[in-house]
A = this chain, B = another copy of it.
Amino acid sequence: MKPPVNAAADVDPELIASTTRRLKLTIAYDGTPWRGWQSLPGGRTVQDELNAAFEKVSGRALRVQGSGRTDAGVHAFGQVAHADIPSSARLTDEAWSIALNACLPPSIRVLQAESVPDTFHARFDAIGKTYRYRIWRPRIFTPFENHRAWHLYGPLDEAALARCAELLIGTHNFGRLSANRGDQSEVQRRLDPASTTRTLRSVEIRDLGDVLEIEVEGEGFLYKMVRLIVGTLIHIARGRETTDWLRDLLTNPEGLQSNQAAPAEGLYLVAVQYPEPVVK
């Protein structure tokens, strides 16, 4: 049963605003079955599934706004999104998360729903993101990490990895460690170096035995940036290039982009940071 239609068309905008409430969602997903975060014709994306769940619960079409896209096969422990729900829907925040989860497939879970001020914006307010990349090191790829890690057997130069991590931290032009999304020409993209300059706050290499983790935290990330960083580091750690290549990629914007992108299935969006605790 749909709630009464909100005849908001000729009403003062302030009144319209007051008929909705903004929810901040923290979402985990196994990216394996999905064509990425971003809504696509034909669906089968995480955003499409969330939009559909909101429509089922609230009885009206809603559009979820994410903090940013993730590629097909990429996972999330803590993607963040916001959505404006009808104030008429008298559900507590916790009831929203329960109702949404009841409408979502088990590979997508709303971990938390919180009321936030209408000014909160999942994408524009984000001041940082943490990504983790997981690599399975033993010779045989356990069935339990299939689609959830990159299988990479053989020696890796851990000292080289540590040197690369050092080089990456700080503010650099990551133009050669990112890909063009296809919405501009490569020439356009390079005309404005500011558009490809980003700051990495930390790069951690964690040897956990069977699993090697590379975790990066930064203000913001360009398209495919984490996968190109990881792929480039591993190429160097395998001894196929030296750390000079990474130094050149970071300091000489004229060269070719790195051609070493790690596969999507090892990548996890761990968390999105915002300026302060957002509570209404």
Contacts and interface: CB of A to CB of B under 8 A. Distances in A.
A106 B144 contact: no
B140 A101 contact: yes
A29 B144 CA distance: 8
Interface string A9-32: 000000000000000000011100
A146 B30 contact: yes
Interface string A109-127: 1110000000000000000
List the number of copies, as a whole number: 2
A269 to B, nearest CB: 13
Interface in A67-116: 75, 97, 101, 106-111
Nearest to A147: B106
Given A140-B101, A140-B111, A106 B28 contact: no
> Most B CB atoms within 10 A — which of A28, A97, A111, A144?
A144
A94 to B, nearest CB: 9
Contact of A30 (B97, B101, B108, B144): B144
Contacts of A106: 141, 143, 146
A29 B140 CA distance: 12
Contact of A109 (B30, B75, B97, B142): B142
Nearest to A111: B140
Contacts of A110: 140
Nearest to A104: B143
Contact of A143 (B97, B108, B140, B141): B108
Contacts of A97: 140
Interface string A210-242: 000000000000000000000000000000000
23 contacts: A28-B142, A28-B143, A28-B144, A29-B143, A30-B143, A30-B144, A30-B146, A75-B144, A97-B140, A101-B140, A106-B141, A106-B143, A106-B146, A107-B143, A107-B146, A108-B143, A109-B140, A109-B141, A109-B142, A109-B143, A110-B140, A111-B140, A144-B148
- Pairs of residues from A and B, 5 with the lowest C-beta to C-beta distance, nearest first: A30-B143, A106-B146, A107-B143, A109-B140, A28-B143
